[in-house]
Structure 1
Amino acid sequence: FKDATVWTSEEEGILVHTDVLIKNGKIAKIGKNLWAAGATIVNATGKHLTAGIIDEHTHIAALSINESGQNSSAEVKMEDVVDPEHIGIYRNLAGGVTSAQLLHGSANPIGGQSAILKLKWGANADELIYKNSPKFIKFALGENVKQSNWNSYSRFPQTRMGVEQTFINYFQRAKEYDLKKKNGEEYRHDEELETLAEIINGERFISCHSYVQSEINMLMKVAEKFDFKINTFTHILEGYKVADKMAAHGVGASTFSDWWAYKYEVNDAIPYNAAIMQSQGITVAINSDDAEMSRRLNQEAAKTVKYGGMTELEAWKMVTINPAKLLHIDERVGSIKEGKDADLVLWSANPLSVYAKAEKTLIDGAVYFDLEKDKQQREAIKKEKALLINLMLQEKDKGSPTQEPKKKDQEQLHCDSL
């Protein structure tokens, strides 16, 4: 890339008239007037080059979201239900998203294990999953886990106090199970307790769906009782109320920019939430939790400039290096730095602008979205569609059998999809 405005998401900030050399899927060199034999040159004059956007919380590219039959599903794995043909992958690439955490839903206090993905459109499911991926699991609090949103009364817990006791019961069992293993005593292998023991031992990280300050405090206290830390509170729309306590615990936050009042427990949400938490020293990301919003996370990040007075670079970090830190992949992605994976986006304008378009989206140095190629493909599809319609009309005129059109709907899955 020649002569770009480079948003590094590092201490170097924004570099103007700068070249970035990619070699073997990595960022090989950053500087001015770079040259390499045989390199493909992309003229980036007047354009902006950034690290690929990382969505800390998504439900695209999944065949199912919730295993809701019991209050803990710690043994289930989202890696088993990755859908590499989900159109959301391509649409996210068109919005500059290159990585995402595919989370279990929020039907249970203790959900399933996450899948951290690189959005390599055209690859198979295994190729989408990060190699040597950090271990994560979804936890949840609030209305969903006590089932107040779908009038189910057949499963414990049904109250917020029951949610707390669920966590305590499971972690006590996991602690005792792990102690038997460490002491060399006989034990029966339990996949669920193995996963929870990994949390206690600091080997697996929690991303917890959360809204209300009382529950946020509760889970931090439960974690401290069993001597571990919550990694990330996601949604965390009352985080501004307890930001000092969150900072003391050492937990990160991944929130919405300006969603509020879509259900009762979100009534106290404010758009200044992200900036307030950041001011207390918390690592803050902006996530989507939505197949539509994930296509424009660049604009969601921009809202923190309006709400909270963030600088443009600090705002941009909320969808690049900050979520990378929360997902423990910041040594690989999230910024433009020599040696990191070449997950990059070339924008037509300032990436925080509503007018900016992702012209090229690269993962590991390979182009997975190209705006010009996309236009060509759209035109080809338009011609193919017209040809097929014409052929069908010709068959109809000949008296051939016909049938009603059949539309294929793909359900968009969310946190509470059952």
Structure 2
Amino acid sequence: VDGISGGLLLKITGTGGGSTAAIERSGADSVKATATFTRNGDWVSINFNLKKNPKGDVRLSGYLTSASPLTFKGEVALPDGTFGKFTATYKDAAKEMPKRDEPKPTLAVGSLIFPFGAFGNTELPKQESVLIKNATVWTNEKEGVLQNADVLLENGKIKAVGKNLSAGSAKVIDGTGKHVTAGIIDEHSHIAGSGGINEGAQSVSAEVRIADIINSEDVNIYRQLAGGVTTSQILHGSANPIGGQSQLIKLRWGKAPEELKFAGSDGFIKFALGENVKQSNFGTGARFPVTRMGVEQTFVDEFTRAKEYEKAISAKGSNVRRDLELDAIVEILNNKRFITCHSYVQSEINMLIHVADSLGFKINTFTHILEGYKVADKMKAHGIAGSTFSDWWAYKNEVAEAIPFNGKIMHNVGVTTAFNSDDAEMARHLNQEAGKSVLYGNVPEEDALKFVTLNPAKMLHIDDKVGSLKPGKDADVVIWSANPLSIYAKAEKTFVDGISYWDIDKDAQVIKSQQAEKARLIQKMLESKTSGVRTQRPFGNAPRLYNCETLEDYSAELNETEHAH
């Protein structure tokens, strides 16, 4: 057996596919142990634990290669997770051996990690002073891109940006050949949610809050840190014209849900237009609205009710019942909550702008906005931002007239323009999405990077804290291996508040630790099975990757069946 010194003698007694077996090794390192032997036709499975050299369960899986002499060959899985080959050849008939009691092993438990799942850390990373030396620094400020410059991070803030900065007691990172940028900000995300992101039972669900379902253990937080993302707006889905309240988070991997929330940020809410809200693809018309006319009337009715509600509840001696749904709409009317509206088609965008003008509220951002190039002048006049995709088109009827130059045209008109993900996977390479604006329309590289850094910060009203490398702002910083707009660039370190939550070298160590922990857990399961503990098949559903249109979890709740499709 590869990986085990000396020859082994396997003794099998009994009949049938499952038999009693023992294994022993002779010589200076002699040992005897029980084994399990299972044969199904020409296939065999042999498991045993020698307790030493190696320590842990050894698993052999092979097949009959010869009947005379009886020979089995196959693969061996060793306790440390490595693999090899084995050959077993019949020697002579074995005598049935007496049973003996094995000493009970000492119970071993794994390390406590944060979060308690894949890619968790045994210790939470700590904030420290860091000086990045001699790098290409993309400031996103009037200084532009600085060559051979330094960035000093101290107490969770950007202390200084310039040349020949003094390190003092700070940890020094050699940035030669590297690029340093502000952390990427995803204006439209659905990660870190639990139990679904669409409350689709009614056309207005302004009372529901993403803040109440934050899942800080979503592995996509870690994966997106590896792509340089430091801040995300977690949005409600697009099942209804007026959806739920958003939550802005920083990707503080390993922290509790409340600790992810971006302190002091403004409140936002999700609106939606188009196919989704009028239930074009639902197959039923059980909920109003089912036409674009009805969508418009939903907005008119809701804001009219909100105005009447605010007036009534403000009256002296009022005993009007508090309505959490209308409270959120009143916040919009008073510029205390801001709209991010899912939108595609020019006619509907014009409709909502007209409704907003007539009822006295403002639209902060049109997201998706793949026909933004048609209405960029109106968006500019109304101070509405556009958060779009880089090069998506023709993936459904509403985007038949989308073009890859959309971002460039809105930007040139003067609309604050950003690229977002709406997808857990795309968010891992938003830097590349920004680079596509250079390809489609020759947007200057500095402006292209702002599409995923400073501009979304402006949309979310946090550009005084993040989005650029300016002294006094939060130390949300990424060190790249190459030009950040390049498909070859890798985020080597990602800092959030001056804490390194992603480090490409430490990640390699984490992967090794996970492999060892996986092997340890497999060993424990095998030991339990060998000792006669009842076994069962693994169960559970893989976590969903949400986007605007994900309704499965909502449907599951409706049918009282988890993840029903």
With the shorter chain as reference, the TM-score category is over 0.9
Aligned to 1:90, the other structure's residue is in SS state helix
Higher alpha-carbon Rg: 2
CA separation in 1, counterparts of 2:307 and 2:532? 73
Superposition pairs for residues 17-416 of structure 1, below 5 Å?
Answer: 17-63=148-194, 64-184=196-316, 186=318, 187-389=320-522, 392=525, 402-406=535-539, 408-416=541-549
State the shift of 1:12 in Å.
Answer: 1.3
Q: Which moved more, 1:264-273 or 1:180-189?
A: 180-189
CA separation in 2, counterparts of 1:130 and 1:225? 33
| Runs of 4+ deviating beyond 6 Å | 397-400
Q: Closer, same or farther in 2 for the Cα pair 1:408/1:69, shift >3 Å?
A: closer
CA separation in 1, counterparts of 2:264 and 2:317? 30
State the shift of 1:416 in Å.
Answer: 1.6
Structure 1's unaligned 5+ residue stretches are none
State the shift of 1:383 in Å.
Answer: 3.0
Structure having the larger proportion of residues in helix: 1
Letter of the 1:223 counterpart: A
Deviations 1:231-287 (A, max 9, x none): 000000011111111111110000000111111111111100000011110000000
Aligned to 1:242, the other structure's residue is in SS state helix
Deviations 1:36-92 (A, max 9, x none): 421111111110010000000000000120111111011111100100000110011
CA separation in 2, counterparts of 1:407 and 1:152? 30
Q: What's the C-alpha RMSD, in Å, of the aligned pairs?
A: 1.5
Structure having the larger proportion of residues in strand: 2
Aligned to 1:290, the other structure's residue is in SS state coil
CA separation in 2, counterparts of 1:69 and 1:267? 29
The number of equivalent residue pairs is: 418
Aligned to 1:42, the other structure's residue is in SS state strand
State the shift of 1:406 in Å.
Answer: 4.3
Q: Which moved more, 1:189-198 or 1:337-346?
A: 189-198
Aligned to 2:225, the other structure's residue is in SS state helix
% identity of equivalent residues: 60
Aligned to 2:378, the other structure's residue is in SS state helix
Q: Closer, same or farther in 2 for the Cα pair 1:313/1:400, shift >3 Å?
A: same
Higher RCO, 1 vs 2 (CA within 8 Å, ≥6 residues apart): 1
Letter of the 2:147 counterpart: V
Deviations 1:317-356 (A, max 9, x none): 0000000000000000010000000000000111111111
CA separation in 1, counterparts of 2:477 and 2:381? 34
Q: Closer, same or farther in 2 for the Cα pair 1:224/1:327, shift >3 Å?
A: same
CA separation in 2, counterparts of 1:401 and 1:183? 67
Letter of the 1:73 counterpart: S
CA separation in 2, counterparts of 1:172 and 1:6? 50
CA separation in 2, counterparts of 1:19 and 1:75? 46
Structure 2's unaligned 5+ residue stretches are 1-131, 552-565
CA separation in 1, counterparts of 2:356 and 2:314? 21
State the shift of 1:185 in Å.
Answer: 6.0
Please name the residue that 2:24 is paired with. Answer: none
Q: Closer, same or farther in 2 for the Cα pair 1:15/1:401, shift >3 Å?
A: same
Do structure 1's residue 8 and structure 2's residue 151 form an aligned pair?
A: no
State the shift of 1:132 in Å.
Answer: 1.4
State the shift of 1:225 in Å.
Answer: 0.7
Q: TM-score, normalised by structure 2?
A: 0.72
Q: Which moved more, 1:358-367 or 1:408-417?
A: 408-417
State the shift of 1:403 in Å.
Answer: 3.8
CA separation in 2, counterparts of 1:364 and 1:401? 48
CA separation in 2, counterparts of 1:159 and 1:325? 34
Aligned to 1:3, the other structure's residue is in SS state strand
Letter of the 1:149 counterpart: N
CA separation in 2, counterparts of 1:253 and 1:337? 24
Aligned to 1:67, the other structure's residue is in SS state coil
State the shift of 1:402 in Å.
Answer: 4.4
State the shift of 1:391 in Å.
Answer: 5.6
CA separation in 1, counterparts of 2:493 and 2:480? 7
Q: Which moved more, 1:188-197 or 1:254-263?
A: 188-197
Q: Closer, same or farther in 2 for the Cα pair 1:383/1:166, shift >3 Å?
A: same
Deviations 1:123-160 (A, max 9, x none): 01100001112110000000000011211211110000
Q: Which moved more, 1:388-397 or 1:153-162?
A: 388-397
